[in-house]
Amino acid sequence: MPGTSRVCNGARTPPFCGRLIVRSRNEGEPIVDLGTLRINQLTSDGFAWYREYLTVLDAYDLDGYVALLSPGVSVQFNNDEPMVGRDVARAGLGEFWGSVTGMGYSLVHEPLNIYGNDRHFVLEALNHYDGKDGTRVTVRATAWTDRGDDGLVTSVRLYQDLSPLYTRSSS
């Protein structure tokens, strides 16, 4: 098993320093050097943009969401084939959101962690699907979102297990 150490300015330090190096057992050459990897590089502007992005999603504002997408956007849910292009993404998201609202649910994101920088975001969240009857189904979700130079979303990869939502709706 390789050993790990963190190095700052050439000296070994406690585990929360900025440079992680994984070395072989004999402390030879580094086999992994993550350089000066920072855990989060979001600016306040990037965080504000992402918060607004989530607000549009929670509102099921399809037109507002599509306006945030680049013409060649790729949107992928779990292991499904990606939906490529604004029109395809609009149709797919419209169907998905329609099925959720058709079961009487609305979506509320509870972000747990948002990592990345102002162009690349990783969200870990609890997605709460609130029913009109007061029930709540909560699923864990992770979303990877990328923006191009023009600020438009170029790629979204969303991972969540919705089986509890569909199981509850069918019973």
What range defines the domain where residue 16 resides? 3-33
Per the structure, the count of domains in the chain is 2
Is 54 in the same domain as 129? yes
In the chain, what percentage of residues exceed pLDDT 70? Answer: 75
Q: Is residue 38 part of a domain?
A: no
Q: Is residue 15 part of a domain?
A: yes
pLDDT on residue 44: 87
CA atoms within 13 A on the CB side of 37: 12
Q: Is residue 64 part of a domain?
A: yes
Report the distance separating Cα 145 and Cα 155, nearest Å.
6
Output the domain CATH number for residue 164.
3.10.450.50
Report the distance separating Cα 92 and Cα 78, nearest Å.
14
What's the order of all strands across the beta sheet hosting 153-160? 83-84, 69-77, 153-160, 136-147, 120-131, 105-116
pLDDT on residue 79: 92
The predicted-structure confidence for 17-60, as pLDDT tens digits, reads as follows 444 444 555 555 555 555 554 456 788 899 899 989 988 988 88
Q: Is residue 39 part of a domain?
A: no
User: Is residue 142 within 8 Å of 122, Cβ to Cβ?
Assistant: yes
Spans of the chain below 70 pLDDT: 1-40, 169-171
Report the distance separating Cα 17 and Cα 49, nearest Å.
29
Q: Is residue 14 part of a domain?
A: yes
Is 29 in the same domain as 53? no
